[in-house]
A and B are shown apart, each in its own frame.
Chain A
Amino acid sequence: MRGVDRRPFLFAPYPVSVNAYDNRLLRRGGAVPTLIADSQREEENMKNPLESLWGTVITGLVLTVILYYLAKSLVGG
């Protein structure tokens, strides 16, 4: 079954080759491929804050504030 993809019914109601499926999706040119492309670009641009020291310290401070309010609600203050 190599090269054959069983996508959910909504996308392909019968076994279809991956290339044929992708070509059909590209020809359609609708909102779905655009959304996928945009989210991929966004992921490529996002950086892990832990990469830098400042990002790490700011992450720790933000976490402190969040946990402070969590603790406050636990204490009942």
Chain B
Amino acid sequence: MDMLPGIYRWIHIMAGIMWVGLLYYFNFVQVAAMKSAQADGTAAGISKHVAPRALFYFRWAALVTWLAGAALLGSNFVAAFTFQSGFQKIGIGAWLGTIMLLNVWGIIWRNQKKILGIVPATDEEKNKARRVAFIASRTNTALSIPMLFFMVAQTHIPM
């Protein structure tokens, strides 16, 4: 039983690397690559073979990260989310992570399903979905910066 918090932390960090790593891949690499690929007619390869796989690991890694983080907080879960004494920093990190998770499953994935043709959508709906998913993804990239800061700050940055 003494090992459990360490195991939760290990899973939390591994899944978190996959989640945020893929988020950065989408924003720093794929968006720019798609523009170049569209210019030379090779974009279909990315949207057909790369994006669906990356999105699969991205959304499930997000959920595993959050669940492992919740398990790691354990009995301090409520204390963190209500910013009780000693848990203010991790509380801010936990809230940012939660907003990011809701963004992934509630906005990004819902719109990506239309873009990838998993659910039927008109061209107009697809264009709108592309825009919404892009902004939501960029929002998560911006939020990841303070989120990671506060995850580290709980034990390593005195205030």
Identify whether the interface residues of B are mostly helix, strand, loop, or mixed.
Answer: helix
Q: Residue-by-residue, is A17-29 near B (CB-CB < 8 Å gives 1, otherwise 0)? A: 0000000000000
Contacts of A59 in B (CB 8 A): 142
A-B residue pair count with CB separations less than 8 angstroms: 50
Chain B residue nearest to A58 (CB atoms) is B142
CA distance A70 to B142 in the complex (A): 18
Q: What band does the interface of chain A fall in when counting residues whose beta carbon is under 8 Å from B? A: 10 to 19
Q: What band does the interface of chain B fall in when counting residues whose beta carbon is under 8 Å from A? A: 10 to 19
Asked whether B30 is an interface residue with its Cβ less than 8 Å from the other chain, the reply is no
CA distance A70 to B143 in the complex (A): 16
Chain B residue nearest to A51 (CB atoms) is B138
| B contact set with A: CB distance below 8 Å | 27-28, 83, 88-89, 92, 135, 138-139, 141-146, 149-150, 153, 159
| A contact set with B: CB distance below 8 Å | 48, 50-51, 53, 56-57, 59-61, 63-64, 67-68, 70-72, 74-75, 77
